[in-house]
Chains A and B, each alone.
Chain A
Amino acid sequence: MALVVNEEQQMLKESARGFLAEHAPISEVRAQRDSGSELGYSPALWGKMADMGWAAILVPEQFGGLAFGHVGMGQIIEETGRTLTASPLISTAILGVTLINLAGSDSQKAELLGKIANGDLTLALAIDEGTQHSPANTKMSASKQDGEYVLNGTKRYVIDGSSADNLIVVTRTSGNPGDLKGISLFNVNSDTNGINIERTNMIDGHNSSIITFTDVHVDENSLLGEFDRGFRPLSTALDVANVHLACELLGIAQESFDITLKYMKERKQFGTLIGSFQALQHRAASWWSEIELCKSIVLKALQSLDEGDAKSPALASIAKAKLCEIVELSTNEAIQLHGGIGMTDEYDIGFFIKRARPAQMLYGGYSYHADRYALISGY
């Protein structure tokens, strides 16, 4: 397959850009923050996104979805990266849908996917328990009692934890922390007795929570996928989420670069444009080159997801790692090359670095994914 975005995918990208320019330009980021948004995103905007069909993109057609594929979805996500727009897209339309597609029973798919596609149901994955991403080290327990399961434990950095209708909870049903076997997934209503959700105000203003589960009783139908065998679908779903996070990071990197390049062509000091200084020209040129590498590896990873080929796990980690490296470079350079105003709250450029780091850390940053890629490669 040619490593290019096709016409349809390009149209989706352009329509996403237009939609966001009209309904969620970057000024919305400041407005959301300053108004102390309860949900961490705009429900009205989510409704409009659902009307555009964005919640349905990865849902199979038989459940009311568009099945447009990952390359298409990735174009939308990249654009949301440019405008730093918060929404349930990653947690619900990508991660939630993928988990249900992979692990859900026919009745679970029928019950959940249609509602998601309409924008009527949101999900949050409750996975990490410590400060570093480590799915295999799940300690949170789910013990089988009288035909029910009882959940106990704590989850941290749960994106959309305080706004989602349902939580998909990663638990250990057998074995020890570190074992890949013995992990089970549960689809749980966030209103369930015993669940305590505390929203944390993160540096990017997005929605994240610390959730404690104290003797939370859930029925057998809550089990998503096979008992003790949740790691495989979870790992695949995390690959998918990471590739799309890489898309968001790509949007952030590109927009930071574009804004900075524009500034270099406007700002004058010492009687000339700062863009005429060779040191800055070289910095911009090598930065641009790195972004070109990012565009390429993200597209490769998206295409691999659509093909469902064996290279996807390695490509997902390569893409996430590379994007983490370069979005870090981009957001740092953007501030430095703006000089003093880059440090002001009044200027928008500071929002990019604040969103980049949480997105980098989510489901594994550079160190996690470089390590994972090396392990996959045998070293």
Chain B
Amino acid sequence: MSNLDSFRLETRDWLEDNCPETMRKPMKTADDGCWGGRNFTFKSEDQKLWMDRMGEKGWTAPEWPTEYGGGGLSKAQHKILKEEMARIKARSPLESFGIWMIGPALLKFGSEALKQQHLPPIVRGEIRWCQGYSEPNAGSDLAGLQSKGVDMGDHLLANGQKVWTSYGDKADWMFCLLRTDPDAKKQMGISLVLFDMKTPGVKPKPIKLISGSSPFCETFLDDVRVEKDQIVGEINQGWTIAKYLLTHEREMIGGMGLTGAGSKTLGSLAIDSLGTTFGRLNDLFLRTEVAKWEIDAAAFACTAERANDEAKAGQGVGATSAMLKYYGTELNKRRFETLLKVGGSDELIWDGDLSKNDGWMAKTWLRTKGNSIEGGTSEVQLNIIAKNILGLG
């Protein structure tokens, strides 16, 4: 038996013994996710148990080195772990910006001290992170950010305002971009720093969206003390790291798939809602919209699959994540426009007893309008494709 085969059997056995039954069901909404951190209210004992057990094994961050608490698995072993988890429908034990974003950045650019300090608590789900990037005047033009980090000798003093901080009011630590050299050319005067959200002067404030409440916050920084050893990489060298992180974020969003797709296809929902005559939907124009969407969605799913397979085979074009993010988010928006029309007027009831799932469809439809804006707007993705893939401009 090969090493990988015995790894598979060991993994299967360990999961059988350690994954609670209630954790063997898919998550219904984002609320079902386990985010960990100092302030988290676990939905159940099982949820905490699952996070703790996977965290202890390092399997919340399977490929991270074991010296930082990670699982130390190879890509092949990680693939096996994913397959074995899927086999018993085990849900993800931990949702974490630490795992998806700042962790990989620290592994690549962070000092040994920072890695030792921050990575193990991320793996164990003890510390929850948020991202301090965008500002009211620096969105697409992130490099234009103005929040300052002034050198006070033995520390930096941060002042400014961040916006679109996901879970800012729930997070324990922030990774934050500050302008530490106001005289340098734009990208050259930026640093990536880390600080505890409990530091005096840090004030998160939730943002309400057109779709209702959201995890987003504004974060105000008022004379916040940032220790110098919490600067990632070198001072004024933060932009390179920021870009690396943004690529990860783009891949994360691009890989998310369609919102609440569930098991019902758009076509089957349309059949339920509109009915058919002689095999064709009763609204022929909407039928065209549904079919066109399903054709594009099938081609897109194949595209994500092919990009994945080509990357594994060492073929393919870099920067494909920009195309996948662009097309996938636009496809998701189209889906909800069609879903809303197919669903009809009952889906317009916003809340209350007469609403369907507390207005889930209308709220989600509105929320999808943000998909083509967050993580780099569609227009920015097209710029990236034009420049990096097509060699234009």
Contact = CB atoms under 8 A, between A and B. Distances in A.
Interface of A: 2-4, 261, 264-265, 275-276, 278, 280-282, 284-286, 288-289, 292-297, 299-300, 315, 318, 321-322, 370-371, 373-375, 377-379
A292 B386 contact: no
B296 A293 contact: yes
B386 A284 contact: yes
Given A4-B313, A370-B291, A377 B302 contact: no
Interface string B319-353: 01001001100000000000000000000000000
A292 B389 CA distance: 12
A285 B385 contact: yes
B357 interface: no
Nearest to A297: B299
B306 A322 contact: no
A289 B299 CA distance: 11
A265 B386 CA distance: 12
B323 A265 contact: no
B268 A378 contact: yes
Interface stretch (B173-181, B208-216, B273-281, B367-375): B273-281
B288 A370 contact: yes
Nearest to B276: A379
Contacts of A282: 379, 382-383, 386
A379 B315 CA distance: 38
A295 B300 CA distance: 10
B137 interface: no
30 contacts: A2-B309, A2-B312, A275-B393, A276-B392, A276-B393, A278-B393, A281-B382, A282-B379, A282-B382, A282-B386, A285-B326, A292-B320, A295-B303, A296-B299, A296-B302, A296-B303, A296-B305, A296-B306, A297-B298, A297-B302, A299-B306, A318-B299, A321-B295, A322-B299, A374-B281, A375-B279, A377-B265, A378-B271, A379-B287, A379-B291
B267 A379 contact: yes
Q: Is the interface of B mostly helix, strand, loop or mixed?
A: helix
B80 interface: no
B327 A293 contact: yes
Interface string B135-163: 00000000000000000000000000000
Contacts of A296: 299, 302-303, 305-306
Given A265-B391, A289-B385, A373-B295, A379 B302 contact: no
A284 B298 CA distance: 22
A254 B290 CA distance: 27
B192 interface: no
B389 A373 contact: no
A366 B101 CA distance: 42
B306 A379 contact: no
A283 to B, nearest CB: 9
B232 to A, nearest CB: 32
A225 B276 CA distance: 35
Nearest to B271: A379
A370 B271 contact: no
Contacts of B389: 285, 288
Contact of B306 (A3, A280, A285, A286): A3
B386 A285 contact: yes
B354 interface: no
A263 B359 CA distance: 50
B270 A379 contact: yes
Contacts of B76: none
A104 B382 CA distance: 51
Nearest to A303: B302
Contacts of A294: 299
B113 interface: no
Given A284-B386, A289-B326, A379-B280, 16 more contacts: A2-B312, A3-B309, A4-B309, A265-B392, A284-B390, A285-B381, A285-B383, A285-B389, A286-B382, A289-B323, A322-B295, A370-B288, A370-B291, A374-B281, A374-B291, A378-B279
Contacts of A322: 295-296, 299
Contacts of A377: 265, 267, 291, 294
Contacts of B290: 374, 379
A3 B326 CA distance: 21
- From B294, B302, B303, residue with most partner A Cβ within 10 Å: B302
B292 A370 contact: yes
Contact of B291 (A286, A300, A371): A371
A333 to B, nearest CB: 14
A270 to B, nearest CB: 15
- Greatest chain B CB density within 10 A among A299, A375, A377 is at A377
A261 B280 CA distance: 41
A286 B372 CA distance: 14
B185 to A, nearest CB: 22
A3 B385 CA distance: 22
B310 interface: yes
